[in-house]
């Protein structure tokens, strides 16, 4: 059941990001800050999940969402490089 949930969440988050629904602040943020923020968010989810006794579910959800965000940022940077823009 968790696997089906994670696949659905992964697809939904990618569709959401590809439709351009990313907030302007995250769109302009540098990739290194996205990576550090994602790491901090996952660590916060671990601490909060252990405290609330839902660690595995919360950590899986946050990890999939942040991984989708990181993949989107990498893909947008590669698209800019392929078009000849300086990154």
Whether residue 76 lies inside any domain: the answer is: yes
CA-nearest of 46, 44, 35, 42 to 69 is 35
CB atoms within 10 A of CB 49: 18
Whether residue 87 lies inside any domain: the answer is: no
CA-nearest of 15, 13, 37, 16 to 25 is 37
Residue 86: predicted pLDDT:
73
Whether residue 19 lies inside any domain: the answer is: yes
pTM of the full structure: 0.85
Tell me the pLDDT band of 87, cut-offs 50, 70 and 90. low
Whether residue 17 lies inside any domain: the answer is: yes
Q: How many domains does the chain have?
A: 1
Whether residue 50 lies inside any domain: the answer is: yes
| Interatomic CA distance for residues 87 and 29, integer angstroms | 13
What range does the domain containing 60 cover? 2-82
Q: Tokens for 82?
A: 């392929």
Q: What is the pLDDT of residues 24-76, one digit of tens each?
A: 898 889 889 999 999 999 999 999 999 999 888 999 999 999 999 999 999 88
């Amino acid at each position: 059941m968790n696997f089906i949930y994670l696949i659905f969440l992964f697809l939904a988050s990618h569709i959401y990001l590809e439709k351009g629904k990313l907030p302007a602040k995250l769109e302009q943020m540098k990739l290194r800050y996205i990576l550090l923020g994602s790491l901090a968010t996952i660590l916060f989810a671990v601490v909060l999940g252990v405290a609330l006794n839902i660690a595995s579910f919360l950590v899986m959800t946050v990890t999939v969402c942040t991984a989708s965000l990181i993949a989107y940022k990498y893909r947008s940077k590669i698209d800019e490089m392929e078009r000849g823009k300086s990154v």
